[in-house]
Structure 1
Amino acid sequence: MVRPRGVAGPRHRRPLTGVGAVGRPLPHDLAATVRAGLGRGVDGAERLRGGSKKGVYRLRLDDGSTVVAYVWAEAEDYWPQAVRGADDADPLSHSSGLRLFEAAHRRLTALGVRTPRLYEVSRSGDGDGDRGADVALVEDVPGPNLEALLDADPAAARRPLERLAEVLDTLRSDTGPGVGKVALLDEHVNGHQVQHVDEHAPARTAEALVLARALADLDEAAARDTRMAAARDRLAERLHERVERVPRRARHGLVHGELGPDHVLVGADGEPVLIDIEGLMRFDVEWEHAFLRIRFGTHYELLRPRGLDEHRLALYDLAMRLSLVAGPLRLLDGGFPDRAGMLAIVEHNLRAALAAAATAWRDPKGAPSPLSRAAAPGAATPG
């Protein structure tokens, strides 16, 4: 058995049903899962901040070591039920659950991409553990996340960023036909045969899926904010201008799906360790890089590879902005505690989307938009 990480600290017992870091009670009998899987008792638990789809707890064991528990349960998911109930066949749908986590963990491990080591799983309804939750016990990786390191010491973060660029190259190089979540594209998930998605259907192309989602996000944002409502038609036109220029693609790499610096831990050896991996999917890597460019800001240049399709980036950047307006607003419908933080994300990306609406189309490769040519030969579409 791989041993949990050892830590120094007091050896007094605290109840697992105490209050965690965000002030909510710890509702799950995690001690039973630890006892069944690791043969240890639990002295204390701390709820870690940030999770919106699952609970994340640091558990202190009776030998002084620590593990992290991921808990997928109704009470741990802040997203509205309509979002949670989306079909996993849509690669851009809500990505949560032990099944998706295990499939992603297997794939990343096989590729040599670091993610916290998996010690034990407990499924809802098993004889051991909490019958109302799925649980995974994983390595407690020492060190900060990459976001904290970039803030505290950008020079020290350079090497982890360079290694993360290598990880992204590894994921990009693992190509295959079709798009979809890794759990559905694998031939076997937890020993059961699953039906492959039809990667040849026109509606299953990455750009078609992104466009459909972006238009839905735009409609939702317009219904919630008068500024977005006023720009709705222009933003829809910008999306269609961009998608017209995207060529078909037969093969796709792997993408994490939400790879911000807060989803990269930095191990003691300086290696990047990916977390929140449930959304791992085969998709256009430009979708990942649109998000990376937003989240890493000036540090993104260390992550940018050669050969990205600029037309895809143009489409996906705008679609990502709309997603980062509508998505946080949906999350707040579910009672997420950091309301101010989510509203700041909304405002930042709303302003970026409005700027795109007000800017006449400029093809990233220098050619005029086909919609612009149709409106007035030789003239840009009015913004």
Structure 2
Amino acid sequence: MRQFAEIEDLSDLVREALGARFRPVAVERLRGGSKKGVYRVHVEGPGGTGTGTGTGTGTGPTSVIVYRWADTENFWPATATERPGTNAGDPFAAASGLVPFLAAQRRLEGVGVRVPRVLLADGSRPGGADVAVVEDVAGGSLEALFGSDPARAANALAELATMLQIMHGQQNVSYGQVHLLERGGTAPGVSCEQVVTDRALADLAQAAGRDDRIASAACALEDRLRELAGRVAPRTRYGLIHGELGPDHVLVDADGLPVLIDIEGLMFFDVEWEHVFLRIRFDDRYEALSRPGLDPARLDLYRLAMRLSLVAGPLRLLDGDFPDRSAMRQIAEYNTHAALALLA
């Protein structure tokens, strides 16, 4: 049975981050994470009573967020975390832990993109867990604001479009995850489109082994992938992308500004990959984030590859004990229909 962190496990960490005047009084593990534990720790001390989130009206916060990277927090089955043929340098290898988190934090802060402030980071905790204590952004997610406060959400969406323009405008001659490139490493493969095609073929094989509809169309899907890949022209410069930027990975602070979270997979890559994901996740609101000049051939290839990823990934996750199983099945089902529709 999985053992998650309790308040006694996090109290010393939070006091170290905030100071001895703050006393943790409650902790809740937030839903949604599959690779790390995300905990909201409520505190009493200067500026707050421990019953709210974010910054109190006095001199300190009423809560903080603790990220905890540990084997017990990772719901991906050990045999299904990576696709066949991937390695630690692959742009789509699992990015988890303090090293990729801090590298992404530095890079984004360096270009003026808002991320939660890091109050403490420690990769030497007992039991081998990496931990970080970060600001608890008080405004909730952009996804929630779409329903509760459409006007505030629209303003944040416009700010997000500007933020993405800044990110995607950062150029690099190599592609790969930021923490890898920062250490002088190189990603495998000869191009983004080749990496995506190989990944999509592996996803197709794994999805076909789990879903009869994908299995029946596997030959046609493979032919379509190879046809679309053959249309893509070479490219030698790459933009900075989040990689999984949905409205649930955007918080909104007290000033109405978007704050990016789940940033460990930050990488230099074709920005078309980001825009395919943005279109899927933001749906009718995507137009506010769109930009001219995207390569249609890359968009076509990445659209099919993304759908296959969103079938295979949730099905792999369901091989383990991920708790929100209904949501994963719904994602896989929706994207199965979407992938097959692209053959029409």
Q: How does the TM-score come out when normalised to structure 1?
A: 0.81
Counterpart of 1:196? 185
Per the alignment, in what secondary structure is the counterpart of residue 295 of structure 1? helix
| 1:79 aligned to which of 76, 79, 104 | 76
Larger gyration radius, structure 1 or structure 2: 1
CA drift of 1:83 comes to 4.4
Which range moves more in the overlay, 29-38 or 225-234?
Answer: 29-38
CA drift of 1:195 comes to 3.7
Amino acid at match of 1:317: R
CA drift of 1:330 comes to 0.9
2:216 is aligned with 1:234: no
2:231 is aligned with 1:249: no
Q: How does the TM-score come out when normalised to structure 2?
A: 0.90
| 2:138 aligned to which of 142, 155, 158 | 142
In the alignment of these two chains, the number of paired residues is 322
Q: Distance in 1 between matches of 2:31 and 2:136?
A: 15
Q: Distance in 2 between matches of 1:153 and 1:39?
A: 35
Per the alignment, in what secondary structure is the counterpart of residue 131 of structure 1? helix
Q: Distance in 2 between matches of 1:297 and 1:81?
A: 33
Q: Distance in 2 between matches of 1:207 and 1:61?
A: 48
Which range moves more in the overlay, 26-35 or 229-238?
Answer: 26-35
CA drift of 1:38 comes to 2.4
Fraction of identical pairs, as percent: 53
Counterpart of 1:123? 123
CA drift of 1:124 comes to 3.0
Q: Distance in 2 between matches of 1:66 and 1:144?
A: 13
| 1:335 aligned to which of 317, 321, 327 | 321
2:38 is aligned with 1:38: no
Counterpart of 1:152? 148
| Equivalences for residues 277-356 of structure 1 within 5 A | 277-356=263-342
Amino acid at match of 2:134: V
Q: Distance in 1 between matches of 2:162 and 2:80?
A: 33
**8 Å CA contact 2:80, 2:317 repeated in 1:** no
Gaps of 5+ in 1: 1-22, 187-193, 360-383
Measured against aligned partners, the alpha-carbon deviations of 1:92-142 in whole angstroms (never above 9, x if no partner) come to 1111111000000000000100000001012134xxxx4331100000001
CA RMSD of the aligned region, Å? 1.7
Per the alignment, in what secondary structure is the counterpart of residue 144 of structure 2? helix
2:177 is aligned with 1:181: yes
Measured against aligned partners, the alpha-carbon deviations of 1:269-292 in whole angstroms (never above 9, x if no partner) come to 111000000000000000001100
Measured against aligned partners, the alpha-carbon deviations of 1:50-101 in whole angstroms (never above 9, x if no partner) come to 1111000011123132110000000001011134466330011111111000
**8 Å CA contact 1:33, 1:122 repeated in 2:** no
Counterpart of 1:271? 257
2:161 is aligned with 1:165: yes
CA drift of 1:25 comes to 4.5
| 1:52 aligned to which of 30, 34, 39 | 34
CA drift of 1:24 comes to 6.8
Per the alignment, in what secondary structure is the counterpart of residue 337 of structure 1? coil
